[in-house]
Amino acid sequence: MGTEIYFDNNATTRPLPEVVAAMSPFLTEFYGNPSSIHRFGSQVAQKIGEARTQVASLIGAADPIEVVFTSCGTEGDNAAIRGMLEARPDKRHIVTTEVEHPAVLGLCQHLEKRGYRVSWLRVNQDGMLDLEELGRSLTDDTALVSVMHANNETGVLFPIHRIGEIVKAKGIPFHVDAVQVAGKIPLKVAESPVDLLTISGHKFHGPKGIGALYVRRGVPFPPFIIGGHQEKNRRAGTENVAGIVGMGEAAGRMQRNLAQEAEGIRKLRDQLEQGLLQSCPDCRVNGRGSDRLPNTSNVSFRYLEGESILVLLDQFGICASTGSACTAGSSEPSHVLRAMGVAPDWLQGAVRFSLSRFNTAEEVRYVNEKVPLIVQRLQGLSALGKLAEEREKARTGGGIGVRG
Ligand code: PLP
C-alpha cells in the first residue's frame, strides 16, 4: 500500500486495537441484556459499570453515577440543552456562541424558530469570546448557557472555568460541549463550575455510535429519550453494550500519560505549522493567537480553494479536511472562520490538519514537503493565484516570498 497519512483526527480517530478486542466478546458470547436478572444480564451490567468508572475517570468526575451513556456527541448536546429547557419551563432564553458545532448551533437555531430567544456570543479574530459580553447577556430569563470547550475547526480553547464562574454566579445551568477535548488534554469536571458535559467515543480512539453526558449530582435532568428505566431513568433504550465497553477501554488507555502525549503531539503540530508558514507564501494559521488544542492546526492558503487542496493532498496519501466533517459537502465557507472575521480571500482556502498520538515526525516532514508543491500548482492554475504571485514578486523583488 502507498503512503497513508491520517491528519483528520478531529473528524474521527482510529479505534485502538485493544478497544476492538475488548468489544468483540460483547458481540459474541456476552450478548445478554444488561437489564435481565439472569447471569447473561448481570455479567454485562457489571461490565457497563466498569466502563462508566473508566469514563468518569477520563473526565475527572467525582462519581461514575454522573455519567450517562448516549449514542454520540450530538445526542449528548441535544439531551443537555433540551433537558435544561424542560427542567426550567418558565425560562425562554439560551446563551451560546456563534462558533459551536452544528450539534448545538443547529439545535439552537431550531429552538429560536420555536420562540426561544438565543444570544449568540461573538468571537474576536483569534476565535476568543468576550467574557464581558457573556456577563451582559445573562438575564433572569436565561434557561442555560451552552459553550464548547474546544473548537473543532480551529482547536481554540475557551476558558471554561472562568465562563462557568460567571454563569454559576447567576445560578444558571452550564453545559459544555467537550467532544474535542476528552482524551486530548486532561479534564477535571468535578473541580469545574460545569453542570453538564458532553463527550463522544470516536474522538478518542473508541468506537463510533457511543457517547456520554456528564450530569452533575443534584442537577435536575429530565430525560431526552423516554421509555425504559435504563441509565437510571436518564436515557431509555437497551444499551449499546459493545460500544460502551469500547468507549470505557479507550477512556482507560487514553488517560495514561495524557499530558505527556499531548506535549508530543503539540511538538509535531508546531513543526507542521512552522514548516508551512516558511515554505508557503500567503499562508496563515487561524486562531494562532489563542490557547489551542495541541493537535489542531487550521491553515488558510490565500486565494485557493480548500477542497482543491484536499483532493491533491489525497493524491499524495494525505488525509485532512476543510473544517467540520459535519459541514463538509456544503460549499458555504466555515461559519467559525467567518465569525472570526477572516477576510474573503483567506476564507475558502482553509484546511484543517488534526493529529493524534499515532502520527510521527516523519509524516509531518512528508506533509511539509508536499503542501508547498500543491500550493504552487494551484496558484499556477488560479487566475487569482497568478495575481497574488505577481504581487509577491513585486514585493520581494522577484524572489520567493517567505513567511516566518
Ligand atoms: N461537538 C463537537 C465539538 C464536535 O466536534 C462533534 C463532532 O465532530 C460533535 C459535537 C458531534 O459528535 P458526534 O459525531 O459523536 O455526534
Distance 103 CA to ligand 1 centre (A): 7
User: How high is the pLDDT of residue 402?
Assistant: 30
* Angle, CA 327 vertex, CA 324 and CA 328 arms, to 5°: 85
Cβ < 6 Å from ligand 1: which residues? 72-74, 77, 101, 103, 148, 152, 177, 179-180, 200, 211, 325-326
**Would strands 283-285 and 196-200 be described as parallel, antiparallel, or unpaired?**
unpaired
Put simply, whether the predicted model's pTM sits higher than 0.85 gets the answer yes
Cell of 23: 468489544
Q: Which three cell numbers stand for residue 183?
A: 482524551
280 is catalytic: no
The x, y and z cell numbers of residue 85, run together, are 429547557
Q: pLDDT (tens digit, 9 = 90+) per residue, 138-157?
A: 999 999 999 999 999 999 99
The neighbour count for residue 87, using CB atoms within 10 Å, is: 15
Q: Which of 126, 130, 92 is nearest to 111 (CA)?
A: 92
Which residue is closest in CA terms to ligand 1's atom 8?
Answer: 11
Low-confidence ranges of the chain (pLDDT < 70): 1, 323-331, 383-390, 397-404
Longest dimension (CA), the chain: 81
Cα(151) to centroid(ligand 1), Å = 10
pLDDT for position 280: 94
Mutate to test the pocket of ligand 1, among 9, 101, 160, 296 (most ligand atoms within 8 A of CB): 101
Per-residue pLDDT, 124: 98
Convert the pLDDT of each residue in 66-109 to its tens digit. 999 999 999 999 999 999 999 999 999 999 999 999 999 999 99
- Take atom 10 of ligand 1 and give the residue whose Cα is closest: 73
Q: Decide: 179 and 199 in contact? Cβ < 8 Å.
A: yes
Q: Which residues lie across from 6 on neighbouring strands? A: 319
The pLDDT score that the predictor gives to residue 401 is: 34
Residue 201 grid cell: 467515543
